[in-house]
Amino acid sequence: MPIEITIEGPFTDISQLNNNLASFSPVLKRIPVRNDENREMGRIIIVELDKDNPDKKLSGISSIITQTERALSLSSEFYVGVRNLAHSEPSSEAIQSMEPFSPIPSMTIQPWTPDPAQPTNPRTIILDPHHAFGTGKHPTTLLCLRIMDILTNETSREQALKGAKVLDFGCGTGLLAIAAVKMGAQEAMGVEIDPQSVQAAKTNVALNQLSGRITIREGSWEVVHEKYDFIFANLVISVLLRTGTYIPDHLTQTGTAVISGFGGNQMGEIKRFFEEAGLTVYRQSVLEGWAAVSVVHCKQ
Same domain? 136 vs 273 = yes
Same domain? 216 vs 268 = yes
Among candidate residues 63, 88, 113, the one where a domain is terminated: 88
Same domain? 116 vs 246 = yes
- Structural domain contains residue 233: yes
Same domain? 160 vs 113 = yes
Among candidate residues 88, 122, 148, the one where a domain is terminated: 88
CATH code of the domain covering residue 187: 3.40.50.150
Structural domain that includes position 254: 99-297
Selection from 37, 19, 36, 38 nearest residue 28 by Cα: 19
Among candidate residues 64, 88, 112, the one where a domain is terminated: 88
Q: Output the pLDDT for position 57.
A: 76
- Structural domain contains residue 255: yes
- Structural domain contains residue 18: yes
CATH code of the domain covering residue 26: 3.30.70.120
Same domain? 116 vs 213 = yes
Q: Output the pLDDT for position 52.
A: 59
Q: Output the pLDDT for position 70.
A: 87
Residue-wise pLDDT tens digits, 155-177: 665 568 999 999 999 999 999 99
Q: What is the mean pLDDT of the chain?
A: 85
- Structural domain contains residue 286: yes
Same domain? 154 vs 54 = no
- Structural domain contains residue 16: yes
Same domain? 261 vs 137 = yes
Same domain? 128 vs 37 = no
- Structural domain contains residue 74: yes
Count the domains in the chain. Answer: 2
Cα 111 to Cα 103: distance, rounded to the nearest angstrom: 13
Same domain? 84 vs 120 = no
Cα 113 to Cα 107: distance, rounded to the nearest angstrom: 19
- Structural domain contains residue 93: no
Same domain? 191 vs 281 = yes
Same domain? 164 vs 28 = no
Selection from 172, 117, 163, 122 nearest residue 144 by Cα: 172
pTM above 0.85, yes or no: no
Same domain? 113 vs 41 = no
**Please, which pLDDT band fits residue 270 given cuts at 50, 70 and 90?**
very high
- Structural domain contains residue 94: no
**Please, which pLDDT band fits residue 300 given cuts at 50, 70 and 90?**
very low
Least confident of 142-146, 192-196, 201-205, 246-250: 192-196
Q: Output the pLDDT for position 37.
A: 56
